Amino acid sequence: MARKLFSFLIAAALAAAAQNPAADIAAARRFLDALNAAQWQAAAADFDARMKEAAPPGKLSAIWQSLGFEKQLSAPQAQPLPDGGLNVTVPAQFRAGPLDLLISFDSAGAIRGFFVRPPHAASAWQPPPYARPARFRERPLVVTDGPWRLLGTLTLPDGPGPFPAVLLVGGSGPGDQDESEGAQKPFKDLAWGLASDGIAVLRYPKRTHVYGARSEIETVKDEYLDDARAAIAALAAQPQVDARRVFLLGHSEGGYLAPRIAAADARVRGIIILAGEARPFGVMLVEQTRYLAHLQDDGPQAEAQVERIRALAEEVDAGPLDPNALYFHAPGSYWLDLRAYDPGATAAQLKDPILVLQGGRDYQVREADFRGWKKALAGHANAQFRLYPGLTHLMAESTTPGSGLGTPADYARPGHVAPRVVSDIAAWIKSGRLP
């Protein structure tokens, strides 16, 4: 949820084939030109039925204006998909910094998805300095089989074991197993760093990353809980893993849901909440929208953009929702499920250790969430907390000038999970306490 609030997944995309790339590229430019000209009806003219339901002109207007487009669009880039579909990516400049606009087309030339993402990184990922590849090996591991088969990667320290182990559960949106964001891969950093220190790590792609619109997501049970529980079982069953020391690390929405996952699975011996939100989606969406809108415009126009989003945010947090209708990127049933979940209260009922880590320059999940966890867990016998003043939502050093909150541009620059975060997690898993 929080990790990609600025990404605004308006439709669950990626279905059948696109037969005419040139026509789709031209249609993508027409769509974006219409958005920039505030011609909302024209922009939505080529939407498929699902997009028309998810993003009618009123919602499309609120979302686009909240982003604050500033400069000319760059040349489109086409990417054929394994199932024959086509994505068109158009780099653009917004008030908050550079972002990529991705428009997905079906075989009839209809727009079936629209995403806003961090810009594509030109440089390849490089191992962090704390990784010692000679100390571990990696192999594929089937996380769950059946209709939603997921293949993850198990990173094992050298030696017979058994080793303590941790499952990594990612944030919102269709994330890959590395939680790739722009130039950064925080889950790959964590896997290589922790395995270098004698801890086995399992990471896996989200169901929505592998299956797209076919994922049939109705609640977080479909998106998170079922696959996480299967992954815990797969990890605990490995002969090199100490099944008595299997931990769960959730980042962003994965951290928000970590207490719920652990409460339903006695194999989890402790949870790590990494930049996990503790507040409702709508509250955080409005907060993020306000921050991004005011980055370069402190006038009334920025606040007007916030007000456009506020009504949509309040709708998902407290409004009367149709379980089958789409709100932002998910059906009403998804939001109704989350309304019944209190992450702090659920965490407080857990008897196993809890570690909460937060970056001080994180503009997506804030110190207010960190304080929320501390308040909820004030009576917990073994909850520990650490705030890292200079780190972003991806737990890397912010490169945004100044000492305040970071910006989306942080994700476009190469960076790694900070060494002290990796060493703190490793020490906590091994000893049950921070160094």
Q: What is the CATH number of the domain that holds 75?
A: 3.10.450.50
Are residues 170 and 99 part of one domain? no
The pLDDT score that the predictor gives to residue 267 is 96
In a domain, 283, yes or no: no
Bridge partners, 92 (sequence order) = 99
Are residues 100 and 74 part of one domain? yes
With beta carbons less than 8 A apart as the criterion, state whether 324 and 333 touch: yes
Residue 195: half-sphere exposure toward Cβ, Cα within 13 Å? 32
Are residues 97 and 182 part of one domain? no
Residue 20: half-sphere exposure toward Cβ, Cα within 13 Å? 9
Q: What is the CATH number of the domain that holds 194?
A: 3.40.50.1820
Residue 22: half-sphere exposure toward Cβ, Cα within 13 Å? 0
Are residues 162 and 266 part of one domain? yes
Are residues 219 and 189 part of one domain? yes
Please write the tens of the pLDDT for every residue from 35-85.
888 899 898 888 888 788 877 887 788 778 777 776 667 778 877 654 456
Are residues 161 and 35 part of one domain? no
Q: What percent of the chain has pLDDT over 90?
A: 52
The pLDDT score that the predictor gives to residue 401 is 87
Are residues 218 and 98 part of one domain? no
* Tokens matching residue 147: 């209709």
Q: What is the rounded CA–CA span in Å between residue 36 and residue 26?
A: 15
In this prediction, residues 293-299 reach a mean pLDDT of: 70
Are residues 161 and 109 part of one domain? no
In a domain, 312, yes or no: no
Compute how many other C-beta atoms are within 10 angstroms of the C-beta atom of residue 218.
Answer: 17
In a domain, 57, yes or no: yes
Compute how many other C-beta atoms are within 10 angstroms of the C-beta atom of residue 82.
Answer: 6
Are residues 167 and 75 part of one domain? no
Domain span at residue 74 reads: 2-117
Q: What is the rounded CA–CA span in Å between residue 195 and residue 175?
A: 22
Are residues 140 and 22 part of one domain? no
E strands, 109-149, in order = 111-117, 136-144
The pLDDT score that the predictor gives to residue 213 is 65
Number of domains in the chain: 2
DSSP per position, 303-350: HHHHHHHHHHHHHHHHS---TTSEETTEEHHHHHHHHT--HHHHHHT-
Please write the tens of the pLDDT for every residue from 106-158.
777 888 888 877 766 555 789 999 999 999 999 999 999 888 999 999 999 99
Residue 45, helix vs strand vs coil? helix
Kindly report the average pLDDT of the chain as a whole number. 86
In a domain, 333, yes or no: no
Of residues 417 and 304, more confidence is placed in: 417
With beta carbons less than 8 A apart as the criterion, state whether 111 and 96 touch: no
CB contact set of 22 (below 8 Å; sequence gap of 6+): none
Are residues 247 and 388 part of one domain? yes
* Tokens matching residue 245: 């020391």
Domain boundary residue among 61, 92, 117?
117
In a domain, 284, yes or no: no
Are residues 254 and 199 part of one domain? yes
Q: How confident is the model at residue 28 (pLDDT cuts 50, 70, 90)?
A: confident
- pTM, 2 dp: 0.78
In a domain, 300, yes or no: no
* Tokens matching residue 204: 């896996």
In a domain, 363, yes or no: yes
| Residue 156 φ/ψ region, left for φ over 0, alpha for ψ in the -120 to 50 degree band, beta for the rest | beta
Please write the tens of the pLDDT for every residue from 183-202.
899 999 999 999 999 999 99
Burial class (CB in 10 A: 0-12, 13-18, 19+), 122: exposed
Q: What is the rounded CA–CA span in Å between residue 405 and residue 383?
A: 26
In a domain, 325, yes or no: no
Domain boundary residue among 66, 87, 117?
117
Closest CA to 251 of 123, 105, 401, 359: 359
